DNA sequence: CAGCCGTAGGTGA
DNA sequence: TCACCTACGGCTG
């Protein structure tokens, strides 16, 4: 499977994102475009670059409710994939769900009775989400707060930024995204 | 209210 | 294949 990278500039606190695409769709996205090995070449297909760049840019500008890019699910299998797909299809823009609620909704943890175990496992799965942003793992929060996020210290800032974009959180003074009042319908 | 701990899936070597 | 590391949450002191 040929994989190529596309770097997309964003207003996120973490800076540009790195998106890996295959013929099937987006297989990996990463908020922190580290030097992930030289074996993967940059994408040179203008159509793909336009689609990926355009839709992510529009989503982050508040002009689109989801990136709506095709996802290559090959990096997530079994229960992991079920949970990610449940999140993608059941939790809409501007809504949040707790780790425990998503666990129950996915139906993957039927036999688990240990309190908190299913929720923690979902946290693991979110942390291992191969396509953050496309699968809105930022909408999954802890029962008693915002929960965590990958990518070190800047990670939680990215989560807060995305939740602010979707009108879940109120913007801070350094908010650099689209007009929140307009996006929230308070015009 | 602030820790502590159980438990299982992902990831890198 | 193995060891290590968590993006939680209920319970205890």
pLDDT classification of A181: cutoffs 50, 70, 90: low
Residue nearest to nucleotide C5 (CA to C1'): A124
Mark whether A159 and A122 lie in a shared domain.
yes
Q: Which residue has the higher pLDDT, A145 or A180?
A: A145
Tell me if A177 is assigned to some domain.
no
Of A137, A141, A162, A183, the catalytic one is A137
Q: CA–CA distance from A134 to each of A64, A111, A142, A168, A172 (Å)?
A: 12, 29, 20, 18, 24
Average pLDDT, chain A: 87
CATH of the domain at A166: 1.10.10.10
pLDDT classification of A140: cutoffs 50, 70, 90: very high
Domain extent at residue A132: 76-171
Residue A187's pLDDT is what? Answer: 44
Residue A108's pLDDT is what? Answer: 86
Tell me if A67 is assigned to some domain.
no
Mark whether A166 and A80 lie in a shared domain.
yes
A137 an active-site residue? yes
CB under 7 Å from strand C: A 98-100, 115-116, 119-120, 122-124, 126-127, 129, 132, 137-138, 140, 142-144, 147-150, 155
Residue A41's pLDDT is what? Answer: 87
Contact by Cβ (8 Å): A115, A103:
no
pLDDT classification of A12: cutoffs 50, 70, 90: very high
pLDDT classification of A10: cutoffs 50, 70, 90: very high
Mark whether A123 and A45 lie in a shared domain.
no
**Span A65-115, pLDDT tens digits:** 999 999 999 888 888 999 999 999 999 999 999 999 999 999 888 877 777
Distance A130 CA to C7 C1' (A): 14
Number of domains in chain A: 2
pLDDT at A48 over 90: yes
Q: Beta strand A97-98 with A4-8: parallel, antiparallel or unpaired? A: unpaired
Name residue A182's beta-bridge partners: none
């Amino acid at each position: 499977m040929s994989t190529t990278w596309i770097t997309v500039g964003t207003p996120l606190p973490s800076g540009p994102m790195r998106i890996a695409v295959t013929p099937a769709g987006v297989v990996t996205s990463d908020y922190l475009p580290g030097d992930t090995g030289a074996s993967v070449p940059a994408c040179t297909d203008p159509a793909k670059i336009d689609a990926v760049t355009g839709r992510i840019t529009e989503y982050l500008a508040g002009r689109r409710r989801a990136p709506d890019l095709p996802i290559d699910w090959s990096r997530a299998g079994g229960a992991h994939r079920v949970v990610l797909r449940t999140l993608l299809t059941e939790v809409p823009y501007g809504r949040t769900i707790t780790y425990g609620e998503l666990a129950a909704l996915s139906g993957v943890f039927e036999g688990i009775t240990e309190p908190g175990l299913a929720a923690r496992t979902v946290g693991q799965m979110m942390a291992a989400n191969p396509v953050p942003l496309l699968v809105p793992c930022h909408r999954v929060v802890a029962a008693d707060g915002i929960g965590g996020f990958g990518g070190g210290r800047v990670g939680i800032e990215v989560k807060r930024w995305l939740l602010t974009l979707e009108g879940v959180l109120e913007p801070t003074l350094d908010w650099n995204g689209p007009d929140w009042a307009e996006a929230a319908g308070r015009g």
